[in-house]
Amino acid sequence: MRLLRNKSLKEYNSFGIDVKAKNFISITSENELKQTIRKVYASELFILGGGSNMLLTKDLDKTVVHVNLKGKEILEEDDASVLVCVKSGENWHQFILWCLENNFGGLENLSLIPGNVGSAPIQNIGAYGVELKDSFVSCEALNVQTLETTVFSKEECCFGYRNSVFKNELKNRFVITSVTFRLTKKEHQLHTGYGAIQSELVGIENPGIRDVSNAVIKIRQEKLPDPKEIGNSGSFFKNPIISVEEFEAIKIKHSELPSYPANEGHVKIPAGWLIDQAGFKGYRKGDAGVHEKQALVLVNYGNASGAEILDLAEKIRGKINSEYGISLEFEVNIF
CA trace torsion 87, 48, 110, 90 (10° rounding): -30
Stretch in the footprint of ligand EPU (CB under 6 A) among 6-14, 141-149, 235-243, 317-325: 235-243
Measure Cα distances from 247 to 38, 126, 206, 242 in Å: 50, 24, 40, 7
Q: Is the Cα dihedral 111, 115, 116, 117 positive or negative? A: negative
Q: Cβ distance 183 to 81 under 8 Å?
A: yes
Q: Is 32 helix (H, G, I), strand (E, B) or coil?
A: helix
Sheet of strand 4-8, all strands in order from the earlier edge strand to the far edge? 4-8, 20-27, 60-67, 45-48
CB of 311 to ligand EPU, least distance (A): 20
Write the interaction track for ligand EPU spanning residues 205-234; mark x where CB under 6 A is met and - where it is not. Answer: -------------------x---------x
Say whether 235 is catalytic: yes
Asked if 272 touches ligand EPU (CB under 6 A), the answer is yes
CB of 39 to ligand EPU, least distance (A): 34
Q: Which of 65, 82, 127, 278 binds ligand EPU (CB under 6 A)?
A: 127
Asked if 200 touches ligand EPU (CB under 6 A), the answer is no
Alpha carbon distance 15, 306 (integer Å): 8
CB of 239 to ligand EPU, least distance (A): 5
Asked if 330 touches ligand EPU (CB under 6 A), the answer is no
Catalytic residue among 88, 135, 162, 182: 162
DSSP letter, residue 132: G
Q: Which of 116, 213, 214, 235 binds ligand EPU (CB under 6 A)?
A: 235
Alpha carbon distance 235, 226 (integer Å): 13
CB of 60 to ligand EPU, least distance (A): 23
Q: Which residues bind ligand EPU (CB under 6 A)?
A: 127-128, 224, 234-235, 238-239, 258, 270, 272-273, 276, 281, 294-296, 331
